[in-house]
Structure formats: C-alpha cells, structure tokens
A and B are shown apart, each in its own frame.
Chain A
Amino acid sequence: MVSKYVNPVLLPLLLLGVIIALWSYIAVLIPGFPTPGEVWSELLVVLSDPIYDNGAGDQGIALQLGNSLARVFGGFALAIAVGVPAGLLIGMSKNAYAAMNPYIQILKPVSPLAWLPLALFVFKEVNTTAIFVIFVTSIWPIIINTALGVRSVSEDYLNVAKVLQLSPFERVFQIILPVAVPFIFTGMRLSLGIAWLVIVAAEMLTGGVGIGFWIWDEYNNLNYSHIIIGIILIGVIGYILDALMGLIADFFDYRKRGRV
C-alpha cells in the first residue's frame, strides 16, 4: 500500500535528477549550451515580467503565448463551426459522403504548413494566415469524428424516431447529436492537440509575435536558454489544454455520468 502513495511523486523526481545530470553533462560537452541553473534563473526573469510590450519583436512571454493561443482558438472555433455541420451531413447522407470523402482523404494527409504560403498570398496578413492554417489543421479530425459519431447511432434509436415520426430536425437534436457529441469532442481534442503543435511551426514562418516566433527569434539572438524555456512552457500549456478538453468532453458524454 505504501508504494502506491510514493511512486507517483518519488519516481518522477528521481528521473528529474537523472535528466538534470544528463543535461548538465551535455552543457559541458557543447560550449554555450545553457545549463539547468542558467535556464532556471532565466525562467524566473522571463516569468517575472510576462506582459511587457516594447513594440514588434520584443514582448513578454505571456503576450507571445496569448497570441498563439488566440490564433489556435480562432482557427479551432472556425473548424468546429464548419466541421461539425459538415460531419453531420456526411454521416447522415450517403450521397454527401460519396461526394466529399475523396477530397477529405486527399487533403487530410497534407501538412497544414503547405497551405501557409498560399494563405499568406491570399490574406497578405500574418494573423489571418495563422488562423487559417490552424483551421485547416483542425477541421479534418472534427469532420471525421463527427461523421463517425453519426454513423454509430444504433438502428434501434432511429427506428424509435421513425415510429414517433420525429421530424429531421428533432431527429438530429434528440437522437443523433446526443450519440455523436462524445465523438465530436474526441475529434476536437485531437484537433486542439495538433493545432498546438502546428502553431509553433507556423509562427516561426510568419514572424511578428507568438511563441513560435519567440523561439526562433531567440535562436537568432543566440539566447538558447529561452528556447528551452519555450519548449517547457509549450509542453505545460499543451498539457493543460488537453486536460481541459478532456474535462469538457467528459461533461458532455452521457456515458461518463454513471449511466453506461
């Protein structure tokens, strides 16, 4: 019984010691590689004034992260607005599925970054471009999972709808959506995770502001400890986003409320 209380705390701390030792060794091998101590003191500096704004290219870490998050949520919200209705349509209509499936299958494996130059040409503006790239990133898992959710509605429930003569509108809201919502949230959770990966790369290309830009900018400034700080902060925020999406998904999932 004792080990159950100790393990989740002690083991990660032990591993942290190993990581710091290895890291320190690498810092000795590679001249200029920031040591754990340097990164720690820099982290405190960076976090002590997170919202300063000295104009383009020199802003606090919270502003950089905030901009990235705003773009991610913007593109993500657009993807939900388009992807959920599209997924409902594809799931409910075999014709819509036949029409759209080939394009989804071809566009899905395209790296969202391949769209970036085209978006930059069309919008001629960095923010809209980043939002569009996140939109393209997020939409496929949402469409596919929504359609999957619709198709997993059991024939029995649809027969109930037929016997009660539910209108198409009532059928969507009373039968299909309750079944599909957990699937939709799975798609959203996947999308948000990928979007958070992609935004970093997109901002390295677009520049201006954002955590991706910040990391690339610090590389150009030879400020390597900030790169490591960026990596850690991206990881922590990504983890928080995923955990929040998980909580929201569980809240809307009828199966997770003691009703299996």
Chain B
Amino acid sequence: MSAKPFLKIDHVDKIFPLGGGKEYVALRDVQLDIRQNEIVSIIGHSGCGKSTILNLIAGLDSITNGTILLEDKHILAPGPERAVVFQNHSLLPWLSAYQNIEMAVKKVLGEELSNSEIRDHVMKYIQMVNLDHAKDKYPGEISGGMKQRVGIARALSIQPKVLLMDEPFGALDSLTRANLQDHLMRIQMQTGNTVIIITHDVDEAVLLSDRVIMMTNGPEATIGEILEVNLPRPRNRLELQHNPEYLRCREAIIEFLYSKFAKEDE
C-alpha cells in the first residue's frame, strides 16, 4: 500500500445551523486516511454523525471546516467517482432493474461506449450480483435484498473510485443481510474497489472490514479508536466464528460501544 493516502479526511468539522443563532456541532476534528482498495467501516451509536461523514465524502453535504481530498483533489460536490449505495436502495421505481443501471451507465460512460458496449457493460454488473433472471423486473416486483443488489450493481457500474455505503443492509432481515455481505466481499475481491461502509452492526463491521473506525457519541463526535482487522481474505463467516482474531476485534468494538461510549435510549 502506498504511503500517500487515497482519500484524506483532514481536520473536518461539520456544524449545522439550527436557527436563532444556535448551532449543532455534529463532527469535530475528524481525521482519517483511507488507502486504495481498502474496506473501511464506520461504526457508532445513532447520532454519532457516521452518516454525516459519508454525506461529506459523497459531496451531498458541505464541509464546515477542514478538507476532504480524493487523490489530492478537493471534494466540493457530488460526483460519479464517489458512488453511493443508499440504505433504502433508492432505485427509480418506473425503471426496470436493467434500466436503472443503464441510466447511470449512459450518463457517466455514455460518451465513451457504443450502444452495444453499454449493453454488455450493464449485463456484466447485473451478472455480478446474480440478477440475470430479474433484470427486466421493476423494483416493486423484487425483494428488498434484490433491490439492494441492483443498487450495488448500479453504484459499481459507473466504476467509482470509492464506493460509499450508508447502512446498506440495515433494512434487510439477517439471512438476506448475510447473503449480501458475501456478495459484497466477493465482488470487492474481483473489482478491488475502495469501500466505505456505515454500519451499526458489530459482526458486519468485523466480517467486511480491513479497518473499523469507531465514532464517539455526538454532539462533537469524532473518531474514538481505529481497529485493524487482521483476517485473511476470502473470509468465511462459519470459519470465523471461533477465530481468535475475529473474537478479539468483536470484543474490542463491543467494549468501545457499550463500555467506553455507552449510550442510553438508543
């Protein structure tokens, strides 16, 4: 891994004005370097500003103080090099699964690709999430897990430098969630994407991540600890159950969330 950070979050504050001269300091002095091809998860209690960090990286929200640099370029607005997978999939319900991906591909890569290349490109990502059979279905006709797979395929199809995932599996049942986590790990090994995942699920964080970023509670939330997960890939959830490193990471996060920064009324 290169010494130079791929994505650099440098002394970032995020302050929301509340009106009447009051303000809410959501994030204070957040400092994080993310390496290329890394999977990083950001975990914390609700209200710790973890989604705010993601929105700042995505450019959907503006930074109050500090800078975020992607390959030395300032992030000032949203862009397709930072694709987002939203929690509630946010597929356009009037387009089929295929058309949802095609729309993104046409917009971002349409000038470089011919029509048949666009078709091949869309199909490649549909196959990557094993949805050939459902490609012509509309979002209203497929399950929540399939919708999220289309969302992931759409995000990856525009070949982003960073894939941002905002609690991507939070709305799914645990069996479907496990299935999608496996999909994500397999795809990331194929594509080598840099992935940032917001989560509140301890097992998900350990299973998926190279590093787990633990956030303190808001207001003025910041990074509390950073945990390296030294587990080889590909990872298998069954084999990990009794793995000492897995258990160590799990305990460290639980210790952080429920002892050092316990929060009532979640």
Contact = CB atoms under 8 A, between A and B. Distances in A.
Contact of A259 (B60, B80, B138): B138
17 contacts: A156-B88, A159-B78, A159-B84, A160-B90, A162-B78, A163-B78, A164-B104, A164-B107, A165-B80, A254-B93, A254-B94, A255-B93, A255-B140, A258-B140, A259-B94, A259-B140, A260-B140
B85 to A, nearest CB: 10
Contacts of A170: 107
Contacts of B84: 159, 163
* Residues of B in contact with A, size category: 20 to 34
A25 interface: no
A156 B90 contact: yes
Contacts of A257: 138
B141 interface: yes
A258 B82 CA distance: 33
Contact of A164 (B59, B88, B93, B158): B158
A158 to B, nearest CB: 10
A93 interface: no
B92 interface: yes
Given A165-B79, A165-B80, A157 B140 contact: no
A160 B83 CA distance: 9
* Residues of A in contact with B, size category: 20 to 34
Interface in A158-190: 159-160, 162-166, 170, 174-175, 178
A174 B139 contact: no
B154 to A, nearest CB: 9
A159 B90 CA distance: 9
Interface of B: 58-60, 77-80, 82-84, 86, 88, 90, 92-94, 103-104, 107-108, 138-141, 158
The 8 closest A-B pairs by CB, nearest first: A156-B90, A254-B94, A259-B138, A162-B78, A259-B140, A260-B140, A178-B94, A163-B78
Interface of A: 154, 156-157, 159-160, 162-166, 170, 174-175, 178, 254-255, 257-260
Given A254-B93, A259-B93, A163 B83 contact: yes
A254 B94 CA distance: 5
A170 B107 CA distance: 10
B86 A156 contact: yes
Nearest to B60: A159
A257 B139 CA distance: 12
Given A159-B86, A258-B141, A166 B107 contact: yes
A164 B103 CA distance: 9
Contacts of B78: 159, 162-163, 165
Of A154, A162, A163, A175, the most chain B CB neighbours within 10 A belong to: A163
A164 B60 CA distance: 12
Contacts of B77: 162
Contact of A162 (B60, B88, B92): B60
Contacts of A156: 86, 88, 90
Contacts of B107: 164-166, 170
Contacts of A174: 92, 103
Contacts of A255: 93, 140
A258 B138 CA distance: 8
A154 B104 CA distance: 18
Contacts of B108: 164
Given A164-B108, A165-B107, 8 more contacts: A157-B90, A159-B84, A162-B77, A163-B58, A165-B80, A257-B138, A259-B139, A260-B93
A160 B107 CA distance: 12
A206 B107 CA distance: 54
Of A157, A175, A258, A259, the most chain B CB neighbours within 10 A belong to: A259
Nearest to B139: A259
Contacts of B82: 163
Contacts of B88: 156
Contacts of A163: 58, 60, 78-80, 82-84
